[in-house]
Amino acid sequence: MTDNPRPIRPDDVIPPHGASSIQARQLIKDAALMLPNLIKLVGRLLKDPRVPRRSKVALGMAAAYVVSPIDLVPEFIPVFGWADDVLFILFAIDSLIERSGPEVVAEHWDGPGDLLAMIREVTGVTRNIIPKRLSQALDRISG
């Protein structure tokens, strides 16, 4: 008998003990793979004259917030310190994609279609996390 566990196959049931670390690694891997396509998409949408200017400004404001030393949650608080930055950026990207329209987004998207759906799903989650009043205020800014 060997000490090395056999590799996990696609049809295997993953025990709960290792499930969270495997899921976390897969999420990090997926995020790393989608990041270049997302950056290209956002860059192209920012250059496209059909995209509402207010959505572009909102993304710029979110980026300025991220680099600003002033935060709603101080950076020295583990996890929560950078979570607000991530949420603002994701909300602004979601708003930019949503207000651009599906045709414009599809025109500028290079990656696989299911990856765009995943990006929309991930960025859309921010609408459920951010307090409703803040979400409404950000929506007014972005268009």
Angle of CA points 37, 41, 45, to nearest 5°? 175
Tell me: pLDDT of 13 over 60. no
How does residue 48 score in pLDDT terms, banded at 50, 70 and 90?
very high
Contact 142, 99 (CB under 8 A): yes
Structure confidence by residue, pLDDT tens digits, 31-43: 777 788 888 989 9
Structure confidence by residue, pLDDT tens digits, 65-121: 888 887 777 777 777 777 778 888 888 888 888 889 888 988 998 877 777 777 777
- Report the distance separating Cα 33 and Cα 114, nearest Å: 12
Other C-beta atoms within 10 Å of 125: how many? 14
- The pLDDT assigned to 47 comes to 94
